[in-house]
Amino acid sequence: MRDDHHYLDETGLLEALLRIPSYSGQEAAAARFLVEQMRSFGWEAFVDAAGNAVGLVGATGPLVALLGHIDTVSGVIPVRIEAGKLYGRGAVDAKGPFVAFIAATRRAELAGRLRCRVALIGATEEEAATSRGAHYARDRYAPAFCVIGEPSGWDRVTLGYKGRLLAHYRLEQPAAHSAGELPAAPEAMVAFWRAVEAHCAAYNAGRERLFDQLTPSLRRVASGGDGLSDWVEATVGLRLPEGVDPATLAEMLSTLAGGATLRFEGACPAFRSPRTTPLASAFVRAIRAQGGQPAFLHKTGTADMNVVGPAWGCPIVAYGPGDSRLDHTPDEHLDLAEYQRAIAVLTEVLGGLS
CA distance 196 to 245: 16
Q: Out of 15, 71, 125, 348, which one is annotated catalytic?
A: 71
* Contact (CB, 8 A) for 138 and 304: no
Burial of 235 (0-12, 13-18, 19+ CB in 10 A): middle
Going by C-alpha positions, the residue among 166, 165, 167 that lies closest to residue 262 is 167
CA distance 66 to 52: 12
Specify the DSSP element, H or E, that contains 271: strand 271-272
Specify the DSSP element, H or E, that contains 299: strand 295-299
Bridge-based pairing state of the strands 63-69 and 145-149: parallel
Q: Catalytic annotation on 233?
A: no
Bridge-based pairing state of the strands 145-149 and 316-319: parallel
Q: Out of 109, 126, 150, 338, which one is annotated catalytic?
A: 126
CA distance 61 to 65: 13
Residue type, 96: G
Cβ-count burial 17-42 (b if 16+ within 10 Å, e if not):
bbebebbbeebeebbebbbebbeeee
The count of other CB atoms within 10 Å of the CB of residue 115 is: 15
Q: Catalytic annotation on 126?
A: yes
Cβ-count burial 322-340 (b if 16+ within 10 Å, e if not):
bbbebbeeeebbbbbebbb
CA distance 213 to 201: 9
Known catalytic residues? Answer: 71, 126
